[in-house]
Structure 1
Amino acid sequence: MFPAWLEALILGVVQGLTEFIPVSSSGHLTLVPYLAGWEPSSLAFDVVLHLGTMFAVLLFFRGELMAIIKGILRLDRSAQGQIYRRVGLLIVPASVPIALVGLLFKDQVEEAFGSPLVASSMLLVTALLLLAMEGVRSRRVEAARETVAAGAVRSTAAAEAPAWEGDWRGGGASGESGSGARGESDVVLPLGVDDADPLGTTLADLTLKQVMIAGALQCLAVLPGVSRSGATITAGVFAGLTREAATRFSFLLVIPALVGATLLSLGDLGEAGSETAVELLVGIVAAFVSGYLAIRFLVALVSRERLTGFAYYCVAAAMVGFIGYAMIGPAGTV
């Protein structure tokens, strides 16, 4: 039997790591207590964990959030301010689908959260999304290589032509690979440029269509086992964004969802639960620290590595869940 504070620590770390790494926090928070034979946590404890991860994402993306606020208020009229003003405004319509689903299907979603079988099944959906996303990106990267190769052949044929002395970048371009926005030399914050994926677009070229695709696919994350970040990163890459741009927008898009869900659940903090103040404190600190580290890890990872490893992990976690369900039975029967 684990001491209560250790259970709180483990669940806080699980929440923080899996909220942002594309392996589904909801799926893990359903399966871990079920497989360990722990009593379900109170609503107050769940709210505390989400508070921890909300503070983590707000801290990590404080620069982007300030750029969005300054851009929207017209306090920053630089290229960066214009780009992040557009990003901030586009987050609003992209957040509407998940808000509607959360309000209209709240009871059904809460019922699904108690089912380890649903969580295990949906982890397989997350795996499929990640594999499909990497497949789309790989085909786009290959198409870019073929385009570059064809361009190299044409350049060789025209090698003896007189050289043009003008600016090859065009008026106002920054020369940053993969970015089409003018005047980006003033941009300090990362926009998701991926030299390996020059056909992919960055946050500078974000469109309403792209964000609505991400917002629509985010709705799948109301089901335990479907990763919010996995769904929105996949949607972004499907819509034409680079993997890094899709990841950065995914984290910015999750902020309204986390803030909204947390605010709606603040009333649950008053509900009596079995957790003590120490356990609640341990949970929120663990969720905050592990969540911050998870964001930092994933943002660095997507710029150089594929996410297929997370897909294989989701398959393995789903298999553990299925085996556990076969041995233990439905939740609450032990």
Structure 2
Amino acid sequence: MDWLQIVLLSIVQGLTEFLPVSSSAHLILVPVLTDWPDQGLAFDVALHLGSLTAVVLYFRHELATMATSWRHSLAGRGTDEDARLAWWVVLATIPVCVFGLTFKDVIEGAMRAPLVLAGGLIVFGLLLGYVDWRHRGKRSEYRMNWRDALWIGLAQVLALIPGTSRSGITMTAALMLGLSREAAARFSFLLSIPVIVLAGGLESLELIRSPLPVDWMAMAAGAVLSGISAYLCIHFFLAFIKRIGMQPFVVYRLILGIALIWLFG
């Protein structure tokens, strides 16, 4: 990869990982539209590491409190709202782990076609727009129950379809269950941590088994740029989501989906 490709892919990953616009669609499309070679498994691992670092740093205080309360709950010392939130993150992660491991080969094969991406962008974009318009509520993520967490976790399974957007579908489910926009976004971002860890772990295992050489400079640059752009994305998204809502992202998804159908249909 040349430096233009490294910089562009890193920023695209950082921005789209947490926005409801599908990072996988953008990372698949960039090489297709530019005729660049595939970025390779090592670079994907670096981009995931950057995104993970960003979300952990942004929510470091919340995560520390949740981890302490969760340990206390395991030791039988009571369960407060932080412990419950930690348990809901764990519960909501289980479905995507089961389905992701079961259908991994199918997902990485034919489902990465441009028209599949277009369908995911349009269909789930329209669903997000409708739910944001009609069903959002005022509950915070700390007022969730186990049923809410399970439904959001089951919705997250749909993100295995390229073009759906993991953050988009989890925010859609959270809004449908009556969470506020900010709460839906915050829970979606917290839920991204175990998902990114698991996805990055699987890619790392494949990388270890691979005989191909690793460009450590490209990996380092990708991780740093992805992390910076992801951190800024989280900050500004949470700052403006109450005012801007989801509709601008819905419009973007529709335009991108229609463009894909026009290009590859």
Considering the TM-score relative to the shorter chain, is it more than 0.5? Answer: yes
**Helix, strand or coil: the match of 2:17?**
helix
Tell me which protein shows more helix as a share of its residues: 2
SS in 1 for 2:189: helix
Higher mean displacement: 261-270 or 41-50: 261-270
Name the SS of the counterpart of 1:20 in structure 2: coil
Please, which of 125, 133, 149 is the counterpart of residue 211 of structure 1? 149
- Offset at 1:72? 1.4
The equivalent of 2:55 in structure 1 is 57
Cross-structure match for 2:262: 323
For the residues of structure 2 that align with 1:29 and 1:10, how far apart are their CA atoms? 10
1:54 & 1:302 partners in 2: Cα distance?
21
SS at match of 2:162: coil
Equivalent residue, structure 2, for 1:149? none
- Secondary structure of 2:108 counterpart: helix
What residue in structure 2 maps to residue 168 of structure 1?
Answer: none
Give 1:291's match in structure 2, choosing from 198, 214, 230. Answer: 230
Task: Please report how far the alpha carbon of residue 113 of structure 1 lies from its aligned counterpart in structure 2 after TM superposition.
Answer: 5.4
Q: Of residues 242, 257, 270 in structure 1, which corresponds to 2:195?
A: 257
Give the Cα–Cα distance (whole angstroms) in 1 for the partners of residues 39 and 177 of structure 2: 38
Q: How does 1:141-160 map to 2 (within 5 A)?
A: none
Rg larger for: 1
For 1:125 and 1:47, locate their aligned partners in 2 and report how far apart those are by CA, in whole Å.
29
Q: Segments of 4+ in structure 1 off by > 3 A?
A: 272-275
Partner of 1:69: 67
Measured after TM superposition, the shift of residue 272 of structure 1 is: 4.8
Identity of aligned residues (%): 39
Q: What is the deviation of 1:275?
A: 6.2
CA apart distance, 1:305: 2.1
Cα pair 1:136 1:237 within 8 Å, conserved: no
Aligned to 1:225: 163
Partner Cα separation in structure 2 for residue 39 and residue 116 of structure 1 = 17
Q: Which has the larger displacement, 119-128 or 248-257?
A: 119-128
Structure 2 SS opposite 1:304: helix
Q: Cα RMSD between the aligned structures? A: 1.8
* Gap regions ≥5 residues in structure 1: 76-80, 141-196, 327-334
Counterpart code for 1:43: L
> How big is each residue's C-alpha offset from its partner over 1:150-197, in whole Å with a ceiling of 9 and x where there is no partner?
xxxxxxxxxxxxxxxxxxxxxxxxxxxxxxxxxxxxxxxxxxxxxxx5
Q: How does 1:188-203 map to 2 (within 5 A)?
A: 197=137, 200-203=138-141
Contact 2:181/2:245, CA 8 A, preserved across alignment? no
Q: Does structure 2 conserve the Cα–Cα contact (< 8 Å) formed by 1:26 and 1:113?
A: no
Measured in 2, the distance between the counterparts of 1:133 and 1:114 equals 26
Structure 2 gap ranges (5+): 74-78
CA distance in 2, matches of 1:23, 1:272: 34
- Tell me whether 1:241 sits opposite 2:179 in the alignment: yes
Secondary structure of the corresponding residue to residue 92 of structure 1? helix
Shift of 1:108: 0.5
Count of paired positions: 259
Residue 153 of structure 2 aligns with an amino acid whose one-letter code is G
Whether 1:300 aligns to 2:243 is no
TM-score after normalising by structure 2 = 0.92
Quote the offset at 1:274 in angstroms. Answer: 7.2
What is the distance in 1 between the residues matched to 2:7 and 2:205? 23
Which residue is equivalent to 1:276? Answer: 215
